[in-house]
Amino acid sequence: MKIVTWNINGIRTFKNGIKTTLDSFDADIICVQETKVTRDLLDEKTAVVDGYNSYFSFSRGRSGYSGVATYCKDSATPFLAEEGLTGLLANQGEAVGCYGDQVELSSEELLALDNEGRAVITQHHFIGTDGPQKLTVINVYCPRADPDKPERKQYKLQFYRLLQCRAETMLSSGSHVIVLGDVNTSHPPIDHCDPDDADNCEDNPGRKWLNHFLFGTAEKNTKDELKEISQKSASGGKFVDSFRHFHPKRSNAFTCWSTLTGARQTNYGTRIDYIFADRCLVKSAFICVDIMPEVEGSDHCPVWAQLSCTLQASPKFPPLCTRHMPEFTGRQQKLSRFFVKVSEKDRVFKDSEESLPGSQDTGGILENLNPVVQENSVAKKRPTCREKDTNAHKAKRSKQMKTESNAKGSLLAFFKPKQTPLIPSSGNLSLKPTESSQDSPDSESDTRSCPGNVQTETSLSMITEMETENQDEVEGESTSIDKSKDCKKGPCTGFWKAVLHGPPQPPLCETHNETCVLRTEKAGPNLGRQFFVCARPQGHPSNSQARCNFFAWVDKGK
């Protein structure tokens, strides 16, 4: 059995054909993070791939943000699949179970943790040396703590604790467990290009958590923390970082590089994408684990693990499978679906009392399909029957919370791409929602992947292109900042300023004597201020080919 994890930084990374990309891994389970797709924007060719079955979790708040998906080969179809870590998103009958003790968190906090589309759990079967075994695969996109948003630090730690609780409960129930994905913290210093980085110190709470979570690293914590761990007894030390198990000393084994600084070219990165597994499984079944830095298209690279066990396929797809999504069960139903909208559902679900945070997906689409699903379930008595009930229930619960997000519910989103001038007039009517999701900035990482087939371009043109893109970003951003500042003077003052005067002339950096690039402070007291830095990619300070430390503010007067 082969399993892969990859933060794809947007589903458009698959634009050359998702099946081709998935096939290229030759893996049974492929877990991707940061799909940046919400359900209303998920298209059929991404959701339903020949030879695979897939399971998505979507952000229910912001669009173009977060999101994870697990693709399983049909020969490795899971027996159960569940969205989220808390169980609050799971419909009855499809839950994997084993939630553990969540009392530490309020129900609001729990909901908030599952509301950003950060986890999908699948449960598989295989025959081990001791007979039939279960394997639970927890695909996660752990939050990144924005240093300027202290509440996100808390959120991140809560997510870690919830993840640990769920993983350990699964494990003690007798299932083997793999936790994999973008963990957003690098663990030992060897996993970071700049071990002295302030974010990366021993005090980093994410690292402390990893010390708890991983086997044999708890002693790295202080005595007080150790005491706390032993008081909580069961917690800590049950999982193994499988890559380090096989490559304990390998350095410069990074999986993530800043696109903003072009640091991939100098391999100035971090290892934050992991495949953790319970100790027993690593010892008994893991054959090899490695990173794939040669695979481009995202600011992260994939990581894979080969196991000796062979998964058994479930005879039917679990209810969460995208193949069961009404919008993908048959094209002929599509048109009618979008016309049943408002009137029907508003009448049916008028008096909802429970509240789940607003959801774009459960909003229009599921409800619209009730008539269709009903037909199916009457005719064939398929599992959709149960699905229908739970969907209706879910929709009912979410109804109340549908506020502004409802404004871009399924109907609008469905037609929106037609208005997008980006769509080539090739006569191909397939909508391309991912194109429009491109418009939404990724504020979580401030980075974007390089456009196009970077493999086919020289590294120099790659820099140029990247910097151009970054500059676009910078200019776009400064424009909007100026706009908000100058809104009383009239619209787009900043924009016209930029057009009339042009951007400031970039200076030459001192070390390389090369034209600098313009950037904008994205946080802190200098938010919005522009500055010039060396255009070269960031690298180790001793690397003369990497960025020098030239820095100059742009004068405000200009």
Residue type, 436: S
Does the annotation place 34 within a ligand binding site? yes
- Region from 158-166, 185-193, 449-457, 546-554 binding Zn ion, contact rule CB under 5 A: 546-554
Calpha distance 133→175 (Å, rounded): 7
DSSP designation for 75: G
Pull the structure tokens for residue 481: 């900042």
Write down the least CB distance from residue 558 to Zn ion, Å: 22
DSSP 299-360: SB--EEEEES--EEPPSS--TTSGGGSGGGS-GGGHHHHHHHHHHHHHHHT----------H
**CA–CA separation, 180 and 189 (whole Å):** 20
The residue count for binding Zn ion (CB under 5 A) is: 5
Indicate whether 3 belongs to the interface with Zn ion (CB under 5 A): no
Q: Which of 512, 522, 529, 540 binds Zn ion (CB under 5 A)?
A: 512
Comparing CB distances to Zn ion, the nearer of 512 and 522 is 512
Q: Which phi and psi angles does 300 have, rounded to 5°?
A: -115, 160
Q: What is the H or E stretch that residue 176 is in?
A: strand 176-182
**Min separation Cβ 523 and Zn ion, Å:** 24
Q: Is 7 assigned a ligand-binding role in the annotation? A: yes
| Residue 408 lies near Zn ion (rule: CB under 5 A) | no
Strand partners, 304: 4, 290
Cβ atoms of 216 and 239 closer than 8 Å: no
509 binds Zn ion (CB under 5 A): yes
Compute the CA torsion angle 114, 387, 329, 418 (nearest 10 deg): -50
Question: Cβ of residue 452: shortest distance to Zn ion, in angstroms?
Answer: 26
Q: Please say if 300 is a catalytic residue.
A: yes
Residue 277, beta-bridge partner list: 178, 240
- Residue 554: CB minimum distance to Zn ion, A: 17
CB contact at 8 A, 67 and 173: no
The residue from 69, 277, 474, 534 that contacts Zn ion (CB under 5 A) is: 534
Nearer CB in complex with Zn ion: 145/466: 466
Residues ≥6 apart with Cβ < 8 Å to 197: none
CB-based contacts of 364, cutoff 8 Å, min separation 6: 40, 341, 345, 409, 410, 411
> Which of 282, 548 has the CB closer to Zn ion?
548
3-state secondary structure of 167: helix
Residue 512 CB, nearest distance to Zn ion (Å)? 4
Contacting Zn ion within 268-327 (CB under 5 A): none
**In the complex, minimum distance from the CB of residue 264 to Zn ion, in angstroms, rounded to a whole number:** 18
Q: Is 104 annotated as a binding residue?
A: no
Q: Which is nearer to Zn ion, 58 or 550 (CB)?
A: 550
Contact call for residues 387 and 321 (beta carbons, < 8 A): no
Beta carbon nearer to Zn ion, 408 or 512: 512
The Cα–Cα gap between 374 and 369 comes to 8
Stretch that binds Zn ion, among 50-58, 398-406, 475-483, 541-549 (CB under 5 A): 541-549
Which of 125, 192, 300, 324 is flagged as catalytic?
Answer: 300
The sign of the dihedral angle between the CA atoms of 485, 486, 492, 493 is negative
Known active-site residue 52: no
Work out which of 511, 526, 545, 549 binds Zn ion, going by CB under 5 A.
Answer: 511
User: Which one is catalytic: 141, 155, 160, 274?
Assistant: 141
245 interacts with Zn ion by CB under 5 A: no
Is 300 within any annotated ligand binding site?
yes
Annotated active-site residue 141? The verdict is yes
Check binding of 135 to Zn ion (CB under 5 A): no
Q: In the complex with Zn ion, which residue's Cβ is closer, 497 or 512?
A: 512
Q: Of these residues, 28, 114, 182, 191, which one is catalytic?
A: 182
User: Helix, strand, coil proportions of the chain in percent (round to 5)?
Assistant: 40, 15, 45
In whole angstroms, the minimum distance from the beta carbon of 552 to Zn ion comes to 12
Rounded-to-integer distance, Cα 380 and Cα 214, Å: 48
Q: Closest separation between CB of residue 513 and Zn ion, Å?
A: 8
470 exposure class (CB count in 10 Å sphere: 0-12, 13-18, 19+): buried
Q: Which stretch binds Zn ion (CB under 5 A): 94-102, 110-118, 157-165, 542-550?
A: 542-550
Positions in the binding site for Zn ion (CB under 5 A): 509, 511-512, 534, 548
List residues forming the annotated binding site for Mg(2+). 7, 34, 182, 184, 299-300
Catalytic residue positions?
141, 182, 300
List residues forming the annotated binding site. 7, 34, 182, 184, 299-300
